[in-house]
A and B are shown apart, each in its own frame.
Chain A
């Protein structure tokens, strides 16, 4: 890319991780992202990447992400994705992307019923994407999770298509890279922590790479995603 990545972070009422992701983007690109209000009609000209941050948009009313997915700005986000623009949804942002139909499946209540807030290892399933190119396929990274509704669900045909096309982005694993079992924090089918759309320009994931960008707060394994996007 001949110029720095232009990122825009969409803020909904109840978003609360927009500052975290803005910091991660600024660290990687050298530029603060544009902050876009949910009622705005469009994205700033030249936007390369749209980020839907974590939080509790609209108080999780109806279903997590359901109201935000129908916000006015989402028409512009959908058009951006349609043009091949990059879209990243983290945690509540992942829920919003599923509710908006930009990613398949749905995020259900954690199987264990509890809100889970802890460090979590992930296995990078593929590094052949703009989001994961600074990682290696099969690499184990340590990031944070904080969610009550992260139990990924999808029908059998949809799951088969995700797996066949290599669209599972990350799976929950332990520190040694062993996927599933006790390492699955929420009951997600096939231990899925994040998925891509068919064109690999839209990624949704429950974990928070934006919170692991500084050794002071437990590690820097999340930096790779933002550095990869900025590259």
Chain B
């Protein structure tokens, strides 16, 4: 099973990197960029019996390490 975990800063948390990227896109003349927030993507190959087990394993991984849930949110999708 393959999953993609996306970790992003919670809304309201200052994202200086996103701001810098946003500024760079604007200075490159890329049209229509209103706002950029950056984050991380983890592509994970899982050995899981079923989807429910995979959900549990990935939530465990996110809560224990992949995301700092004080300032970050995570989302899981299967690919």
What residues make up the interface of A, taking CB atoms closer than 8 Å to B?
62-63, 66, 70, 99, 105-106, 108-113, 151, 153-155, 187
What residues make up the interface of B, taking CB atoms closer than 8 Å to A?
13-17, 19-20, 40, 64-66, 68, 70-71
A-B residue pairs in contact (CB < 8 Å), sample of 27: A62-B65, A62-B66, A63-B68, A66-B65, A70-B64, A70-B65, A99-B68, A105-B70, A106-B68, A106-B71, A108-B13, A108-B14, A108-B71, A109-B16, A109-B17, A110-B16, A112-B16, A113-B16, A113-B17, A113-B19, A151-B14, A153-B13, A153-B70, A153-B71, A154-B70, A155-B70, A187-B14
Chain A residue contacts of B20, Cβ below 8 A:
113
Could you tell me the distance between the alpha carbons of A62 and B40 in the complex, rounded to whole angstroms?
A: 9
Could you tell me the distance between the alpha carbons of A66 and B40 in the complex, rounded to whole angstroms?
A: 14
Taking a contact as CB atoms under 8 Å apart, the answer to whether B16 and A111 are in contact is yes
Chain A residue contacts of B68, Cβ below 8 A:
63, 66, 99, 106
Chain B residue contacts of A151, Cβ below 8 A:
14
A-B residue pairs, 3 tightest by C-beta: A113-B16, A106-B70, A109-B16
Q: A63-B68, A109-B16, A113-B20 are in contact. List 16 more A-B contacts (CB 8 A).
A: A62-B40, A62-B66, A66-B68, A70-B64, A106-B70, A108-B13, A108-B14, A109-B14, A110-B16, A111-B14, A113-B19, A151-B14, A153-B13, A153-B71, A154-B70, A155-B70
